């Protein structure tokens, strides 16, 4: 597993545990510098992440070797398949302009449900054309559930899947989807490995009301990792590190100090592990930030 630098905090206030707000461009530049030193090869962004792409275009070294992954806009409101495809292509071209690049490693359909509409095939075909032109190297999807994967993989030649996985959200591990994707040769990017920072929150009073039902599990998690001498970050990263099917773990930070902590954890020795399966939660509502009240961003 390798780290990928998530950049939503470069453009937006994001995350239930984020007390710092949007990352300032100067700090973002330092974070990128540290990511280079740490050997990070993938940067994850999107046109819906506020000024993230524009900030990256300004701070990335001209000779950088990052593989940048961005996402499509919503195309559900397009009046025809060709117009949906045009919208997606135009948005990608604008993303490249902001990123000051003429090509990109990957593009993910941000709202996977839209591929199931009568617009989806035209959009995916257009992305395939852009790949054939060398503008995009890999086409993928951002999903929330195994059901998305079950429906999408047989229909579309997907090369990358991004989905939430963390010590509480083990749905794709338990149902075998991660293993299936690995067997199919589909690259997998784990996101929400800290569950929007929830795994780093310690006190019940810190939790939003809708997440109070997770407090007992969170308390146990903190107690157990403390007993074996691991920090919250080390435990959360340790869980992802032992999943051989994960190619990249997308992590977003607001400071160099936060990045260094995560990078150090990713290099750690996790011979002593927690009983990972025992922490798995089952409530889709609790595990899916897109279902939480008034989310700051659907990512």
241 membership: H or E segment, kind and range: helix 232-241
For residues 216-240, average pLDDT: 87
Lowest mean pLDDT among 68-72, 149-153, 294-298: 294-298
Rounded CA Rg of the chain? 19
Q: What is the tens place of the pLDDT at every residue in 177-218?
A: 999 999 999 999 999 999 988 888 766 567 778 888 888 888
User: Whole-number mean pLDDT of the chain?
Assistant: 90
Task: Tell me the whole-structure pTM to 2 decimals.
Answer: 0.92
**Whether the predicted pLDDT of 13 surpasses 70:** no
Residue 65's closest CA among 91, 27, 103, 30? 103
For residue 17, what pLDDT is reported?
46
Lowest mean pLDDT among 61-70, 165-174, 235-244, 262-271: 262-271
227 backbone φψ class: left, alpha, beta (φ>0; ψ -120 to 50): alpha
Task: Kindly indicate the confidence band of residue 50, based on its pLDDT and cuts at 50, 70 and 90.
Answer: very high
d(CA 43, CA 250): 8
For residues 234-257, average pLDDT: 94
Residue 60's closest CA among 97, 34, 99? 99
For residue 143, what pLDDT is reported?
94
Whether 277 and 32 have beta carbons less than 8 Å apart is answered as no
For residue 287, what pLDDT is reported?
87
**Collapsing DSSP states into helix, strand and coil, what is residue 144?**
coil
**Collapsing DSSP states into helix, strand and coil, what is residue 124?**
helix
Class of 2-291 per CATH? alpha beta
For residue 293, what pLDDT is reported?
78
Domain definitions of the chain by residue range:
2-291
The C-alpha angle with vertex 280 and arms to 248 and 211, in degrees rounded to 5, equals 95
Residue 297's closest CA among 6, 83, 37, 3? 6
**Residues 6 or more apart in contact with residue 190 via CB below 8 angstroms:** 1, 162, 163, 164, 165, 166, 240, 243, 246, 248, 249, 250
Dihedral sign (CA 203, 209, 212, 214):
negative
């Amino acid at each position: 597993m390798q780290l990928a630098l998530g950049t939503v905090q470069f453009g937006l206030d994001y995350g239930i545990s984020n007390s710092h707000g949007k990352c300032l461009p100067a700090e973002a530049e330092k974070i990128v510098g540290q990511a280079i030193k740490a050997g990070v090869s993938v940067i994850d962004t999107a046109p819906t992440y506020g000024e993230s792409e524009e900030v990256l275009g300004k701070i990335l070294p001209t000779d950088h070797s990052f593989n940048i992954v961005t996402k499509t806009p919503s195309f559900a409101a397009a009046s025809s398949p060709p117009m949906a495809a045009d919208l997606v292509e135009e948005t990608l071209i604008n993303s490249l302009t902001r990123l000051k690049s003429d090509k990109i490693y990957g593009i993910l359909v941000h709202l996977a449900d839209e591929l199931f509409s009568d617009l989806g095939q035209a959009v995916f075909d257009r992305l395939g054309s852009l790949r054939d032109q060398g503008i995009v190297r890999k086409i993928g999807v951002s999903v929330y559930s195994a059901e998305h994967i079950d429906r999408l993989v047989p229909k579309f030649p997907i090369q990358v899947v991004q989905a939430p996985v963390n010590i509480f959200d083990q749905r794709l591990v338990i149902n075998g989807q991660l293993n299936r994707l690995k067997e199919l040769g589909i690259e997998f990017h784990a996101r929400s490995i800290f569950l929007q920072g929830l795994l780093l929150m310690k006190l019940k009073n810190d939790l939003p009301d809708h997440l109070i039902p997770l407090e007992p599990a969170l308390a146990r998690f903190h107690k157990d990792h403390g007993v074996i001498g691991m920090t919250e970050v080390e435990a959360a990263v340790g869980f992802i590190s032992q999943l051989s099917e994960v190619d990249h773990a997308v992590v977003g930070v607001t400071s160099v100090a936060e990045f260094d902590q995560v990078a150090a954890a990713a290099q750690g020795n996790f011979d002593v592990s927690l009983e990972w399966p025992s922490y798995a939660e089952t409530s889709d509502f609790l595990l899916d930030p897109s279902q939480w009240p008034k989310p700051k961003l659907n990512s």
